Structure 1
Amino acid sequence: MKAVQINRFGGPEVLEAVEIPTPVPGAGQLLVRIHAIGINFADTLMRANRYAMTPPLPAILGSEAAGVVAALGPDVDGFAIGQRVAAPLFAADRMGAYAEFIAIDASLAVPLPDAVSFEQAAALLNQGLTALYLTRQAPPKGKTVMVSAAAGGVGSILVQLAKRAGARRVIAAASTSAKLDFAMSLGADAGVNYTSADWTEELRRVTEGVGPDIIYESVGGDVTGACLATLAPKGQIVIYGALNIQSFQLGVPELLGLIFKNQSLTGFAFIPLLTPADMRSGLAALFELVTRNELVVTIGGRYSLAEASKAHGALEGRGTTGKLILTP
């Protein structure tokens, strides 16, 4: 089968198309023929050996996929050949989705409704659950919230879920006017461009001088620091995502602000919160919203397996919206 792997760490050019044996499903496993693969920014950091976890080499990246059951291993019940399934590999701390086939434990596979496309499913596994769990970790009901990177895979879903969860106002933050327009089309009430020199003043203006009650923050660096400076009294910043671990420092002035304004800075990673039952119910809820046309899943780019390096370059260029997908 065709796959894309890395034999060394580096830029997008280290992603190499290879031919490897098709896996054989073992006891309790399914062989899934993959139709859509989700690309995450964490994939690019792993490729460059800049992630919290260093994968052993050679490595096939990718932690989310959707496809069709191609074969059943021994002792598998509840699945049939030809059945459509989603494969959230991250729930088992696995990679290997950049390929035509993958063998997974049947307990990991999630049935996929016919009304949800393979691409939509691949886009919702990691990033959809992240957005859903963020709204549970920091409930937005009745509050003014800001979503950074609001045009990205998580952000574009989070804007919608925060509105559904009863946020009083949702402020989108992004790096271009086009991205802000996109976020507004998904239901954001206002937008700020955090590449503008005066963006914090604009954020104060659109929040009537108070600042957001909740900031869902994934950009990191200077943006995180600016978010702390504009957060409302008793407000909460929820930090998530791979970028925030790269270039953020918390000093005495920031700590004093948190203390005297009764603010909180919360870390978030949804995978430690997952149980098999919660994962299935969460994905079922997201799939149901898509089925009812109540959640827009935006596919920002489609690439073949052979174009994986091009897809990584596009994602790192920060010019994309929605979710990038590989198709075998």
Structure 2
Amino acid sequence: MTRAVRFHRLGGPEVLGIDEIEVPAPAPGEVQIRVRALGLNRAEALLRRGTYIETPELPSGIGLEAAGEVAALGQGVDGLAPGDAVSVIPPRSMVRWPLHAELINVPAEWVVRHPASLGWEQAAASWMQYLTAYGALIDIARLGRGDHVVITAASSSVGLAAIQIARAVGAIPIAVTRTAEKRQALLELGAAHALAMADGDLAAHVLAITGPSGARVVLDPIGGPVFEALTAAMAVGGILIEYGGLSPEPTPFPLFAVLSKSLTLRGYLVHEITGDPVRLAAAKAFILDGLASGALSPVIARAFAFEEVVEAHRFLESNQQLGKIVVRL
């Protein structure tokens, strides 16, 4: 038996609880992991509210990120041994493979021995944010030296990961946040420029940085009315990658900006990377190199105890955090 975070009805953080469940021995091709830390993501809040891309079967487990020690190996698993420190690539289905529990079984191809320099909390906070940002900026947009990239929701874990990846390849990250409160922190965390949407005329502020040519790449999880300002600040032939839909307002289609600048508007899910072995291998190599060198370093906003998972989700939904929320076991 093990303890697992689960919910028996849809709703806010208060629906979460810790249940005792049975964990079988790992099946062939699986790794059993004794979990030491968990990473929280917006997707988990959407799942428990019933608004995620997959539908939970109640009672449902939850969780996309975990790090811990190998406890046991299923038949046919090579290259790992009990006691190894590992972290988990986010599974394609959170309903099928929920990770927020003390003991989990996951397919071996999603298990990674991370650099020894990473602690449990940093290891649990790495894969979703860096895979998401890498897939958008490097795999799809081919971000490179001298490129201006506009990063909205920049204080989120993915936003901070995008800033670090942009700096690692010599690009110029322009961080965008809702208010000026986090501007200085974003600059200290690597943004070349930090803008607040509350200051108004976002397009003009971006163009004042880039010059009239505009930004070639935009990374956005918000949608809504900001689409018009973002496309107005883009370069001819630029690409806007949308990886979320946080705005409750309708998203206008910026027809004339798209036509006049030959823009690409591209929807993106991290499953594009995690579901393709070749692209995932390239992403893992890039991220592991960055983690080992220190070019990539997860920013932890706050850590909670396992028994405080409800409070951790409340903090996630408060939008007060700068970086990743983790849970310790």
CA drift at 1:188: 1.5
Which runs of 5 or more structure 1 residues have no equivalent in the other structure? none
Q: Which residue of structure 2 aligns with residue 63 of structure 1?
A: 64
8 Å CA contact 1:37, 1:98 repeated in 2: yes
Q: Partner letter of residue 107 of structure 1?
A: E
Could you give the per-residue CA deviations for residues 230-286 of structure 1, whole angstroms, max 9, x where no partner exists? Answer: 323332211113536x644334xx113211222221112231233335424422432
1:290 aligned partner, one-letter code:
L
User: Residue type matched to 2:15 in 1?
Assistant: V
Q: Look up the match of 2:269.
A: 269
Whole-Å Cα distance in 1 between the matches of residues 64 and 203 of structure 2? Answer: 35
Asked whether the equivalents of residues 90 and 127 of structure 2 are also in contact (C-alpha less than 8 Å), the reply is no
Are 2:194 and 1:218 aligned?
Answer: no
Letter in 2 for 1:156: L
Equivalent residue, structure 1, for 2:40: 39
Q: CA deviation at 1:311?
A: 1.4
Name the SS of the counterpart of 1:233 in structure 2.
Answer: strand
Mark the CA change 1:231 to 1:281 in structure 2 (over 3 Å): closer, same or farther: closer
Q: Which moved more, 1:21-30 or 1:10-19?
A: 21-30
1:250 to 249, 252, 273: 252
Offset at 1:225? 3.2
Count of residue pairs the alignment pairs up: 324
Quote how far apart the aligned CAs of 1:26 are. Answer: 2.0
Q: Which among 140, 143, 146 is matched to residue 140 of structure 1? A: 143
Q: C-alpha displacement at 1:35, in angstroms?
A: 0.9
Give the equivalent residue in structure 2 for 1:153: 157
Q: Which amino acid aligns with 1:162?
A: A
Who is 2:6 aligned against?
5
Q: Mapping of 1:179-328 within 5 angstroms?
A: 179-241=182-244, 243=246, 247-251=249-253, 254-274=254-274, 275-328=276-329
Matched-pair contact (CA < 8 Å) for 1:224–1:248: no
Partner AA of 2:53 in structure 1: A
* Equivalent residues of 2:152, 2:176 under 8 A apart: yes
SS in 1 for 2:125: helix
**TM-score, scaled to structure 1:** 0.91
Tell me the SS of whatever aligns to 2:215: coil
Q: Which moved more, 1:278-287 or 1:22-31?
A: 278-287
Match for residue 170 of structure 1? 173
Could you tell me whether the CA contact under 8 Å between 1:116 and 1:287 is conserved in 2? no
Match of 1:50 in 2: 51
1:139 & 1:162 partners in 2: Cα distance?
A: 11
User: What amino acid is the match of 1:119?
Assistant: E
The DSSP-based 3-state class of the residue aligned with 1:70 is strand
Evaluate the alpha carbon distance shift between residue 261 and residue 284 of structure 1 in structure 2; reply closer, same or farther with a 3 A threshold.
closer
Q: Distance in 1 between matches of 2:10 and 2:176?
A: 32
Equivalent-residue separation in structure 2 for 1:236 and 1:107 (angstroms): 31
SS at 1:113 equivalent: coil
TM-score by structure 2 length? 0.91
Report the 3-state secondary structure (helix = DSSP H, G, I; strand = E; otherwise coil) of the residue aligned with 2:236: coil
Question: Matched residue of 1:130: which SS?
Answer: helix
List runs of 5+ in structure 2 lacking aligned partners. Answer: none
Residues 131, 273 of structure 2: 8 Å contact kept:
no
